[in-house]
Chains A and B, each alone.
Chain A
Amino acid sequence: MSSHPPMYFKNHLYWVLLAAGGAVALAGLYAVHMMEHYGHIISGMNNQIVWGIPHVFAIFLIVAASGVLNVASIGSVFGKAVYKARAPLASLLSIAMLAGGLTVLMLDLGRPDRIMVAATNYNLTSVFAWNVVLYSGMFSLVIVYLWTMMERRMNPFNKAAGLAVFVWRFVLTTGTGLIFAFLTARQAYGSALLPPMFIVLSFAWGLAVFHVVQTVIYNWNEKILDPAILNRKKNLLGVFVLGSLYMVATYHFTNMYFAHQQSFELFILRDGGVYTNLFWWGYVLLGNVLPLALIFMPGMGKTRCVMTASLLVVLGAFALLYVFIIGGQAFPLSIFPGYEVSSSFGDGQIAAYTPSLYEFLLGFGGLAIAFVITTVSVRVLNFMPQDKPYIAD
């Protein structure tokens, strides 16, 4: 057993990891403090690019938080034992990422001190206000769901809780997509395709995050995942990645078909510089083609390949969100269709955006919160998937 590190080393490593996560989260809080003090002037955001890097991180975390529950749903709703064994871990990841994402979203507000105002004044027509309900509901539901799994007396309610979570997370990701889908005036958004696109994206991103965490936990505990299970799950990831690529392609193809949207599409797909590069190299190549090759190519699909593929899918997710959120705002809003326009307020020009360090600190702070919650929970409670020796389904 000389290949495995001794116990005391792992104990040390655990505390080092925890401290590192805590330090990154603290750095995020420092960024928040600075932004509170100096205002958003120290971020790269401005009156043209009003949502920036923090929103890329927050939306990734929230979408992945919903998608990771897919693993739980396949277990609880569709009764697959392999997935059922992984439902507790999936639920934990969901709570952790939701907490991280919401923290980022909330702390990026211009007046985060007024969070009580948001909690007490509800505008029923606002998707944001709906999402406040959807996110907090998701939180409580997943906690109840975990309870029904981990407390023996609550087991009878597991199926019902699983079903509720299943339905709720679809509505939640629909809500996230609707934030953009209801922005009728912006060329990049305002499409009914966005909610389903976000749902399929959430499947891929959530499963990718799950794979990464699962691989780490198995390694940590010096266990090897049953190759049959790995095979099933990597194929599922492959299908989800293909599905999400299909949705993104459909979104761009429909835009190409509308004459008034063509200039926007040409901007993203051909002339957009950093956005174009991120889309083709970051999202399509690194986030889709390479992972698919790692999963499906003959001779590939081993643990290490799946781990790399999953990390690449996550990387691609960030690239896509950057293009979608920031590229979508950078393209000038069409106020006078058919006219060439110019003004002192960036009309008719591609908006410039240089993310600042503080924005990244805040974003990584959100990731760190998710990391710390996961690490601590996995250590103090039993989230290790317990597979039966014989897989029935």
Chain B
Amino acid sequence: MSDIDLTRRSFLKTSAGAAAVAIAPGMMLFQVAHGDTQGASDKVRWGMLIDTTQCKDGCNDCVSACNKENGLSGETKATDSQWIRKIEIKDVSNGRELSLPMMCQHCEHPPCVDVCPTNASMKRADGIVLVDKHRCIGCRYCMMACPYKARSFVHEPLTDQNPDVPRGKGTVEACTLCVHRIDQGLKPACSEACANKAILFGDLNDADSEIAKKLRSVATTQVRADLGLNTGIRYQGL
């Protein structure tokens, strides 16, 4: 008789414990979800203004800074990732030459987000276009859809990534506007690295920001404006 009572008692104990364990995660997650962090705000739209007249031909500082910050190898084989690249352009009609950096344009209406089957390509509330690598299945449809060839596919296994910038084989990646820095209140690495201050970073929605003031006062262009994507990266002197 006594051993039955014992098992019954222990059974009740364990089931009470199990119930507590089952409820606890929900309670925990609730607390976490209502933590004090604010997250990305839709009042903000991060963007950059690139002054091509200040961008030096042959200078690669923004690219090197990006590679260092995000842990890219810096190699330029066809299978290597390039989040930002320098493009040399020459006007066919008059021969004017320019050099400028090209990267994800952080569109308001990004084609990559439209075509992504799993919602891995997404736009954060503050306008930054990102790949959620937890969801990316590596179909590369976004690379086909991007008008700026801004995205790269990770072709090889990677090790020793920057703890702030996870990257991995079989997923697509691109310029994150250094989202990990922005969330700490810092500027993107390329913008900080440019000696000529050709890359101005700021909030396009804030009328008092330096970038918004400059956008009001000088003529700026969006690349492939004909597509109507309303890019977050603007160019001056193009």
Interface residues of A (CB under 8 A from B): 38-41, 46-48, 50-51, 109-112, 114-115, 117-118, 121-123, 125-129, 132, 179, 182-186, 189, 329, 333, 335-336, 338-347, 351-352
Assuming the contacts A335-B102, A343-B86, asked whether A132 and B145 have C-beta atoms less than 8 A apart, the reply is: no
B193 within 8 A of A: no
List the one stretch of B43-51, B77-85, B209-217 in contact with chain A.
Answer: B77-85
Main secondary structure of the interface of B (DSSP, over half): loop
Which residues of the other chain, A, contact B201 by a CB distance below 8 angstroms?
A: none
B88 within 8 A of A: yes
Which residues of the other chain, A, contact B141 by a CB distance below 8 angstroms?
A: 126, 128, 179
Q: Measured between C-beta atoms, what is the minimum distance from A25 to chain B in Å?
A: 22
Q: How far is the CA of A122 from the CA of B168 in the complex (A)?
A: 23
Q: How far is the CA of A339 from the CA of B118 in the complex (A)?
A: 36
Partner of B119, one of A123, A342, A345: A123
Assuming the contacts A46-B79, A50-B143, A342-B87, asked whether A39 and B157 have C-beta atoms less than 8 A apart, the reply is: yes
Q: Measured between C-beta atoms, what is the minimum distance from B79 to chain A in Å?
A: 5
B135 within 8 A of A: yes
Q: Measured between C-beta atoms, what is the minimum distance from A36 to chain B in Å?
A: 8
A184 and B76 form a contact (CB under 8 A): no
B139 and A340 form a contact (CB under 8 A): no
Which residues of the other chain, A, contact B191 by a CB distance below 8 angstroms?
A: none
29 contacts between A and B (CB under 8 A): A39-B155, A40-B79, A40-B155, A47-B82, A47-B149, A47-B151, A47-B152, A109-B137, A110-B153, A110-B169, A111-B137, A114-B135, A118-B137, A121-B117, A122-B118, A123-B116, A128-B115, A183-B115, A185-B224, A335-B102, A335-B149, A335-B224, A339-B90, A342-B88, A344-B82, A344-B85, A345-B149, A346-B149, A347-B102
Main secondary structure of the interface of A (DSSP, over half): loop
Indicate with 1 or 0, residue by residue over B184-225, a CB within 8 angstroms of chain A CB atoms: 000000000000000000000000000000000000000110
Which chain A residue has the least Cβ–Cβ distance from B88?
A: A342
B147 and A185 form a contact (CB under 8 A): yes
Partner of B118, one of A112, A117, A340, A346: A117
A48 and B78 form a contact (CB under 8 A): yes
A121 and B135 form a contact (CB under 8 A): yes
Indicate with 1 or 0, residue by residue over B57-84, a CB within 8 angstroms of chain A CB atoms: 0000000000000000000111111100
Q: How far is the CA of A46 from the CA of B170 in the complex (A)?
A: 12
B23 within 8 A of A: no
Which residues B98-147 have CB closer than 8 A to chain A? 102, 111, 113-120, 135-141, 143-147
Q: How far is the CA of A40 from the CA of B174 in the complex (A)?
A: 17
Which residues of the other chain, A, contact B78 by a CB distance below 8 angstroms?
A: 46-48, 346, 351-352
Which residues of the other chain, B, contact A41 by a CB distance below 8 angstroms?
A: 79, 155-156
A38 and B156 form a contact (CB under 8 A): yes
Q: How far is the CA of A340 from the CA of B88 in the complex (A)?
A: 8
B156 and A121 form a contact (CB under 8 A): no
